[in-house]
Structure 1
Amino acid sequence: MTTSAAPAPTRELVLGSLRVETPVVLAPMAGITNAAYRRLCREQGAGLYVCEMITSRGLVERDPVTLSMLVFDELEDVRSVQLYGTDPVYVGKAAEILCAEFGVGHIDLNFGCPVPKVTRKGGGGALPWKRRLLGDILEATVAAAAPYDVPVTMKTRKGIDDDHLTYLDAGRIAQESGCAAIALHGRTVSQAYSGQADWDAIGELAASVDIPVLGNGDIWEAEDAVRMVEQTGAAGVVVGRGCLGRPWLFRDLAAAFAGEEVRALPTLGEVAAMMRRHAELLCFHMGEERGCKEFRKHVTWYLKGFAAGGEMRRSLGLVDSLASLDRLLADLDPAEPFPVDTLGTPRGRQGSPRRVVLPQGWLDDTDGTGCAIAEDMHSGG
């Protein structure tokens, strides 16, 4: 089955020396965007696919868990990594390690994470409130990556809450610091993933800076991405939850940005084949036991809206080998059509607005370098 998508001009995303054929970036998601998933998405369409978030301190101090996450697929032509950190020295050193030792071709800095364990240390979406600290981190990273000609970008949110907005200042600081682009999730930290993303804020940021702005938030279909770019003037989009259980979304995105009018809606048999490919890649990179365990979390997303019964879903959620996965997938109805009523609807976590946990006195000034902040050793969000 096919549906039409509005024609759009072919365009590419330019990040410094890096040119991305389709202006689409896979958002780093903890426990999701490992080497296997990045390859799966890359097989569907051109774009930039970002590794799970890595902590700067963990990398500098050679934490085994952090190092184990820096795995890249053999076909990953551009190695893209998101760094988290609150100390300019650590982040700069980590950037140099990524460039010199891991052959990374793009570094993204995380200033958008809403998780309390991150914001309570002044990190993630809380950090841009400290304008000087933000600038110091960006400048240190850009300087460390410059000898390797590696572009540095940053991702942020509108602000801590509606009373403490930071995105316009963050865009100015990113441009002044030499960043190649800034990505804006059109929600505040207090919103987390609830409510509706503010695309007007993305447009306002795009109009205020000369560097490319990437829009993020509520891109559930390829048409949403084209509409966001046309509505906001953004140079491209960052896609996160919209691709959960739907790696073929990147095929749709590539087609939409190329002006093609056809989008395929996979049957359950085609979805099952994608599930098998995903599990196969996970097992290739992690070994069969761990790969199958990692695959389990994706079952609900893949089967959203399909008629597969509870017993089938439970069994798939306990799969422990590729052979058992094959047996279960063979029992699905391959001809069942894609559930069109799920199109354009949210996927993954949503939650509700919440109070943001911050270090004591964090909001007292915007020009400081932070108070009682500390680097976290652990990677992955």
Structure 2
Amino acid sequence: MTTAPTQPLRIGPIELEAPVVLAPMAGITNTAFRRLCREYGAGLFVSEMITSRALVERNEVTMRLVTHHESENIRSIQLYGVDPKTVAEAVRIIVAEDRADHIDLNFGCPVPKVTRKGGGSALPWKHTLFNQIVTQAVQAAEHLPLTVKMRKGIDDNHLTYLDAGRMAEDAGVAAVALHGRTASQMYSGHADWDAIATLKETVTSVPVLGNGDIWSADDAVRMMAQTGADGVVVGRGCLGRPWLFGELAHALGNNIAAKPVDATLGFVAAAFKRHAELLTEFFEDEVRGCRDIRKHAAWYFKGYPVGGDIRSRFATVSTLAEIDELTTLLDLDAPYPGEAAEGQRGRAGTPKRTVLPDGWLNSHDIAADVACNLTEGEADTSGG
């Protein structure tokens, strides 16, 4: 494995041991998964995307999602919103109630339920609206560092990342992260690392982080070398592989004891069980925790000699005891399978036309009728 110790990454007053950030992923990066990733490595571990309106209205599910475990020494929350006032109010709540040490704003989500309301990766096309949201959020954050995460744009003909990067920098954000894909790409194809390099040349006073196609520590080292990025944001690459953060810390961190693990099947099975235990604690319900771990089974056991019947049973467990029983059926000494376990994880999808509000691309300004109904663009629960 290539190693390339770097300068510590500073995001406002926060100094990270390794220049690595866990990307928010709906239904994945809850407290349980963040704790697990932290147990293996170092970095900044961000919450699931939280809808601003749901936080302001104190939605029960949302309030659970913004609650951190006491072991999370750097608490990070990502907010999504399309109305400057609502986003700013959500930020003020986080500050007043001491719910986080860092806030990120989502301008990268490509899913239709978000973009059709002008949110996520669609929003930076509206320059004034984007600037208002970021500026008011930075002001409301007071002493907390606030960052933005975005995509290249809506599609190749409607790129937004350079304008958005400049506006965010001028507004006073602490860092900017770029996923090197457009909204229309979803997660297909290859991330455009050259765009990350261009953003780094454009935004010079705050850190620029790169996101996209980080499947291994070597990928992270290559991205930083190729783009000049100050750090990396890792999403799908850690699905079923939370120990990737240890490998990243080993490759990119300074004076960190973390090192690559011997990922035998026994090691992977133990990590799967630990994840289920943390989910059980998070949900305060063993059945619900085990129900949630089911979607992780294919990712954890990718490439390993686990028969189809046993895989299916891991994907339908209801208790921790069932996980223990299934583990006894595995060849725990089976070594790491190499290439079979490498590469893409999670759904890539296919390129598709981004769903947008009517007339959204006609101008960079927001129409009056749209501006009057911005809060309708926020669902009452987090997601994306």
| Same fold flag (TM > 0.5) | yes
SS at match of 1:171: helix
> What per-residue deviation string (whole Å, max 9, x for no partner) do you get for residues 319-372 of structure 1?
111111111112111111111013541100101100110000100111336725
> How far apart are the structure 1 equivalents of 2:262 and 2:340?
11
1:307: how far off?
A: 1.4
- What's 2:92 paired with? 96
- What's 1:266 paired with? 263
> How far apart are the structure 1 equivalents of 2:239 and 2:367?
37
Q: Which TM-score applies when normalising by structure 2?
A: 0.95
- What's 2:247 paired with? 252
- What's 1:380 paired with? 383
1:263: how far off?
A: 3.1
Specify which of 269, 275, 278 is matched with residue 275 of structure 2: 278
- What's 1:308 paired with? 306
- What's 2:289 paired with? 291
RMSD of aligned alpha carbons? 1.5
> How far apart are the structure 1 equivalents of 2:14 and 2:102?
8
1:39–1:262 Cα change, 3 Å? closer
Native 8 Å contact 2:32 2:278 kept in 1: yes
Structure 1 range deviating more: 338-347 or 16-25:
338-347
Native 8 Å contact 2:224 2:231 kept in 1: yes
> What per-residue deviation string (whole Å, max 9, x for no partner) do you get for residues 108-162 of structure 1?
000000000100000000000001100100011101111xx11000000000000
1:80 partnered with 2:83: no
1:265: how far off?
A: 3.9
Native 8 Å contact 2:115 2:121 kept in 1: yes
- What's 2:178 paired with? 184
- What's 2:103 paired with? 107
Native 8 Å contact 1:125 1:157 kept in 2: yes
1:11: how far off?
A: 2.6
- What's 1:50 paired with? 46
Amino acid across the alignment from 1:217? G
- What's 1:224 paired with? 219
Q: Which TM-score applies when normalising by structure 1?
A: 0.96
SS at match of 1:215: strand
Amino acid across the alignment from 1:107? I
Structure 1 range deviating more: 197-206 or 72-81:
72-81
1:88–1:357 Cα change, 3 Å? same
Native 8 Å contact 1:299 1:317 kept in 2: yes
- What's 2:164 paired with? 170
Native 8 Å contact 1:11 1:21 kept in 2: no
Q: How does 1:296-375 map to 2 (within 5 A)?
A: 296-342=294-340, 344-368=342-366, 371=370, 373=374, 374-375=377-378
Percent sequence identity over aligned pairs: 58
> How far apart are the structure 1 equivalents of 2:67 and 2:340?
33
1:314: how far off?
A: 1.1
> How far apart are the structure 2 equivalents of 1:274 and 1:262?
16
Specify which of 233, 236, 240 is matched with residue 241 of structure 1: 236
SS at match of 1:71: coil
1:69 partnered with 2:40: no
Q: How many residues align?
A: 375
> How far apart are the structure 2 equivalents of 1:249 and 1:315?
26
1:33 partnered with 2:29: yes
Native 8 Å contact 2:8 2:253 kept in 1: no
1:65: how far off?
A: 1.9
Structure 1 range deviating more: 67-76 or 86-95:
67-76
1:85: how far off?
A: 0.0
Structure 1 range deviating more: 120-129 or 333-342:
333-342
SS at match of 1:263: coil
Native 8 Å contact 1:221 1:343 kept in 2: no
1:68: how far off?
A: 2.2
> How far apart are the structure 1 equivalents of 2:136 and 2:14?
20
- What's 2:8 paired with? 12
